[in-house]
Amino acid sequence: MARVLVTEELAETGLDVLRAAGNDVDVRLGLSPAELLDVVAGAHALIIRSATTVTSDVLSRGKDLVVVGRAGIGLDNVDVAAATKQGVMVVNAPQSNILSAAEHAMALMLAQARNVPQSYAAIRAGKWERSRWQGVELHGKVLGIIGLGRVGALVAQRALSFGMRLVAYDPYVSPDRARQMNVTMLSLDELVATADFVTIHLPKTAETMGLIDRDLLRKAKPGIRIVNTARGGIIDEEALAEAIRDGTVGGAGLDVFTHEPCVSSPLFELDSVVATPHLGASTVEAQDKAGVTIAEQVNLALAGEFVPFAVNVSAAAASETIKPFLPLAEHLGRIFACLHEGLPERLEITYEGGLSGYDTGILTLSAVKGILGGVSEEPVTYVNAPQLAQEHGLEITEASTSTTRDFVNLMVLRSQGHAVAGTLTGARGEERLVMMDDHPIEVPPARHMLVVRNDDRPGMIGTVGTVLGAARISISSMAVGPSTGLGRDHTALMVLSTDRGVEKGTLTELRNAPGIHEAHAITAMA
């Protein structure tokens, strides 16, 4: 009999699934961090939601833990790396609340368009204000969907039934995939200039934080209305309040905020704002689905069976030769995605040298994890990577050759627009980027990187250094790839590691500098 420790409210249907499998279900709610350290000892499974933080100390104390289950999607409160190192599986319920989240987006859109909570509050205050709370129809309006993942796609389906015209911004969705959903893909600037309503369905990443800022709102169609049920921080809340006050934005429906709980905000003082306290997943059905799903996943993990929603499935099936290349493959995928600032329609992965003699399928999955990891609404794993790639319209081909000119092993990711290659070097197998866009370089992947393609002439390094210095960004390391004559004559490539991420304004300044053709900010590793 396995002991399953449950530290937060779980639907009774989920608890029943755990008990039916013969587990000893130990429900302990409201534990302090210190109490959790004591109680987790002897548990074989730990089930949490968002309030419990599973640190490396918790995992170390839970020496018998086989699995940690999160009854929901996000895993910000679980040290997944420490769990993986300790051999503890981490599972979640990634599809449990997508329908509820999509419906809540529609609810906020309708409530904001028709002033439902404001007019009800007026009635309760003894006022009958029909003319003051006149609304607008959704029919015939343009809905801009920022993030066309699973929730965004469900919103698109529902908006079509209201007679809305759909446009979307998602650089990780192919035009063919969008056409199947009756959606026209636009740039972000084009979307806000076109849409009457905007709904946001993005994960919270370094790239999406502050995405909806003052500069973007200045480009918006006058009277645009914005709905956010995704993550707080994607919208600059001060900029949004300012844009509503000056009439640029017609109103907003918000379920998430930069800092939560949020009970005080300049947005709450505005009549055209509708707000809810992070209720996107708060339905009976979503909680039942989450409870049952996580219980089923935990039962499978305890039984040693295949677990579909494991987020840190180990590559146990990979050969000892392949395993060291898995982190490199994921980092190459992440760099490749940042270079594109989106998703190419085709990805060709070539394995050269000794790697070509092995089954490299799991390396390909690891690269896809890196490509999609920064944009997927759910964690990308070896299990769901193929499905997510298909949903995003990413066509993948693999090739291998036993010959390689300069390296014993080489992994190359290539599309029509960009290419990146890497290998492991030295006795410790350290990661190295050795080619980018057909320019030879040699630099280790870093947390923050900058790639600049520029004229191959004196003074360009100084130009880049001056711009970064003015932005108080330090350069940790740099590699320069000279002109190769392979399709981009007379241009060189700089790859720099920086102490922090290069922000949008600095990136724009670099791109506008004389002699610079491209500049891409890269978040290579979490």
Question: What is the model's pLDDT at position 171?
Answer: 86
Per-residue confidence band for 406, with pLDDT thresholds at 50, 70 and 90: confident
* Percent of the chain clearing pLDDT 90 (strictly above): 72
Higher pLDDT, 73 or 169: 169
pLDDT in tens, 456-465: 999 999 999 9
Domains of the chain: 3-96+284-302 (3.40.50.720), 98-275 (3.40.50.720), 323-523 (3.30.1330.90)
Residue 77 burial class via C-beta count within 10 angstroms: exposed 0-12, middle 13-18, buried 19 and up: middle
**How far is 272 from 490, CA to CA, in rounded Å?**
54
Question: What is the model's pLDDT at position 358?
Answer: 87
**How far is 154 from 377, CA to CA, in rounded Å?**
13
DSSP state, 268? Answer: G
CA angle 487, 490, 492 (to 5 degrees): 90
pLDDT in tens, 250-273: 999 999 999 999 999 999 999 999
pLDDT in tens, 185-222: 999 999 999 999 999 999 888 789 999 999 999 999 99
Question: What is the model's pLDDT at position 256?
Answer: 96
Select which of 12, 35, 129, 260 is catalytic.
Answer: 260
Is 331 annotated as catalytic? no
Residue 187, both tokens: 């740039």
39-53, 107-121, 165-179: segment of lowest average pLDDT: 165-179
pLDDT in tens, 412-444: 999 988 999 999 998 888 999 999 998 999 999
> What are φ and ψ of residue 395, in 5° steps?
-95, 125
Question: What is the model's pLDDT at position 508?
Answer: 92
Select which of 278, 392, 418, 520 is catalytic.
Answer: 278
Rounded to the nearest integer, the mean pLDDT of the chain is: 91
**How far is 177 from 371, CA to CA, in rounded Å?**
17
pLDDT (average), residues 506-518: 94
Is 260 annotated as catalytic? yes
Question: What is the model's pLDDT at position 486?
Answer: 52
CA gyration radius, the chain: 25
pLDDT (average), residues 485-512: 85
Is 278 annotated as catalytic? yes
pLDDT in tens, 226-248: 999 999 999 999 999 999 999 99
Question: What is the model's pLDDT at position 341?
Answer: 83
Q: Which of 149-153, 165-169, 171-175 has the highest mean pLDDT?
A: 165-169
Q: Rounded to two decimals, what is the model's pTM?
A: 0.76
Per-residue confidence band for 292, with pLDDT thresholds at 50, 70 and 90: very high
Residue 470, both tokens: 């003015």
pLDDT in tens, 334-393: 999 999 887 887 899 999 998 988 888 889 988 998 898 877 766 777 777 888 888 888
Select which of 104, 231, 418, 448 is catalytic.
Answer: 231
* Percent of the chain clearing pLDDT 70 (strictly above): 97
Per-residue confidence band for 318, with pLDDT thresholds at 50, 70 and 90: low
